Structure 1
């Protein structure tokens, strides 16, 4: 009998996690399968209890469920500090973890982007934003969080202030000035995600050649934001490796097995 894993979210049709994890399971000859399930915030508790009751091995969570899960699962200290869960393991109850920040860190390191001492602008203040802000603040970046609802950005900056060299939150009114002050820009919103691919948080006129731009949206692989970054001469980093690295860490948590990262990457790129 195959062990079932999955990803819960709403929307969920864009997810490439099933292709990535199923490729890894096939590569390793594991009797496991991974599927996407559309689950609303209000139904998350029932869905998790149902998955546990049916013998699921574990699940990932995406928008808009990462913060809601804290009310339901036994989260580890990092996930509690972040205030969001993206990975749940069912081996012993319902244990919650957050691997998003690790994924972003590994993605930037792979592209030889210096984190320590950098001025980092994160746009968005949701679950992924929190994970990335905590991780990269811990790694020594000076953090600015900009969000449509300014108070959410201010609250997040306050939450990470105990580990950050510098942290501030603000609205989006002065996005051009914020970008010009930054070394790294990370889009943690759904702006530009399929099917609304013309959306962007910034244009080339608002960027500079010394900027590194990471878009955690990976469908499409090259978002309009990244196209605009290239026009400005900035370094543009696609979001699939963050997906892969955070997924690889979840794979380790669920199975205790070292995941075949190259196989996972190939599966994601073939889909995209």
Structure 2
């Protein structure tokens, strides 16, 4: 009987997902195990074959950097949102098939609600071009935001996403990373940082015009380890409302677990556990 859950990506040393799900699973008193599988790119295909094998114990798994897009050729199906995004963070085995989903946008959206961030008719700037950026941007198009601009290095990749955003009736444009210092920050209400910069052991910093931030801005960094990245620390110094990525991690994981099992984890327990680990 399939009882194995987990996460694939590389690196995974920073990941809190195993212990958070383990804590929630113990409270539910159900027979699931959540593991982490750090895969080199040349191991991805064999892992997917193993997951699909009828003798496998794998129910499903989360997908993180750098496989949210690379995993798609190995899947049998995508749900509507994942197909629209061309990015997957959740995979479920069912009836002999592997199906991909994306809960990133929902995790970020619930973070906005939890923190009383007003998003309707607001202008949003997203830093990055990866799977998380796609999931967040396209989910927000369905929630009455005014505009979503994308700041990244990969022009071709982001212009495609920007076109899809505009097809929903919401304004969007590509901004080259080299223009970061010249940004008109006053044009935006919410700024969302989706790159790995700031994560433990990641080299590099974001040359952001922090001095242009005010208390009218909400700044979100989806990195959660450390709890306060350099990006958030500097944004906070200029008065911005700052939110780390921990709540997004918990809520996207909650929705993944529900997809796999139909059960609901205790998100407050997961948040308390995460904060105790990272603050301790």
**What is the TM-score of this pair, normalised by structure 2?**
0.92
Asked if 1:117 corresponds to 2:117, the answer is: no
Q: 1:149 to 1:198 in 2, by over 3 A?
A: closer
User: Is residue 157 from structure 1 mapped to residue 157 from structure 2 by the alignment?
Assistant: no
Is 2:197 the partner of 1:195?
A: no
Asked whether 1:85 is paired with 2:88, we answer yes
Higher mean displacement: 219-228 or 33-42? 33-42
Task: Please give the per-residue CA displacement for 1:179-204, whole angstroms capped at 9, x wherever unaligned.
Answer: 33211000010011002377335253
Q: Which residues in structure 2 correspond to 1:123-272 (within 5 Å)? A: 123-141=127-145, 142-176=147-181, 177-196=183-202, 199-200=205-206, 202=208, 204-272=210-278
| Residues 146, 10 of structure 1: alpha-carbon distance in 2 compared, 3 angstrom cutoff | same
Relative distance call for 1:160 and 1:46 in structure 2 (3 A) is farther
What is the CA deviation profile of residues 112-132 of structure 1, one whole-angstrom value per residue up to 9, with x for unaligned ones?
111111110000011000000
User: After alignment, is 251-260 or 170-179 more displaced?
Assistant: 170-179
CA-CA distance at 1:160 after TM superposition: 2.1
Question: What count of residue pairs does the alignment treat as equivalent?
Answer: 272
Q: Tell me the SS of whatever aligns to 2:124.
A: strand
Equivalent pair of 1:144/1:157 in contact (CA under 8 Å): yes
Measured after TM superposition, the shift of residue 172 of structure 1 is 1.6
Paired residue for 2:13? 13
Question: 1:24–1:52: structure 2 CA closer, same or farther, 3 Å change rule?
Answer: farther
Q: Determine if the alignment matches structure 1 residue 23 to structure 2 residue 23.
A: yes
Distance (whole Å) between structure 2 residues aligned to residue 131 and residue 223 of structure 1? 22
Q: Describe the shift of the 1:248–1:160 C-alpha distance in structure 2 as closer, same or farther (beyond 3 A).
A: same
Q: Equivalents in 2 of 1:164, 1:55: separation in Å?
A: 44
RMSD: 1.7
Query: For 2:252 and 2:7, how far apart are their aligned partners in 1?
Result: 13
Deviation larger for 42-51 or 136-145: 42-51
What whole-Å deviation, never above 9, does each CA across 1:68-89 have from its counterpart, x for those lacking one?
A: 1221211111100011010001
Deviation of the 1:159 alpha carbon:
2.1
Question: Which SS does the other structure have where 1:125 is aligned?
Answer: coil
Secondary structure of 2:178 counterpart: coil
Alpha-carbon distance, 1:206 to partner: 4.0
8 Å CA contact 2:196–2:223 kept in 1: the answer is yes
Residues of 2 paired with 1:34 and 1:260: CA distance? 16
Task: Judge conservation of contact 1:89–1:95 (CA < 8 Å) in 2.
Answer: yes
Q: CA deviation at 1:178?
A: 4.0
